[in-house]
Amino acid sequence: MAKLEDWRVWKSAVALAGRAYRVTMREPLCRHFCLSDQIRRAAISIPANIAEGYGLGTRKQLVRTLRIAFGSALELKTHLAVLGTLDLADERELAGLQNDCQAVIRMLVKFRKSAGGKL
Q: How far is 72 from 85, CA to CA, in rounded Å? A: 20
- CB atoms < 10 A from the CB of 53, how many? 26
Pick the closest to residue 43 from 90, 83, 85, 6 (CA basis): 83
At CA 77, angle to CA 16 and CA 13, rounded to 5? 25
Q: What is the pTM of this model?
A: 0.91
Per-residue pLDDT of the chain (119 residues; tens, 9 = 90+): 679 898 999 999 999 999 999 999 999 988 999 999 999 999 999 999 999 998 988 888 999 999 999 999 999 999 999 999 998 998 999 999 999 999 999 999 998 888 775 54
- CB atoms < 10 A from the CB of 82, how many? 12
Q: How far is 22 from 43, CA to CA, in rounded Å? A: 11
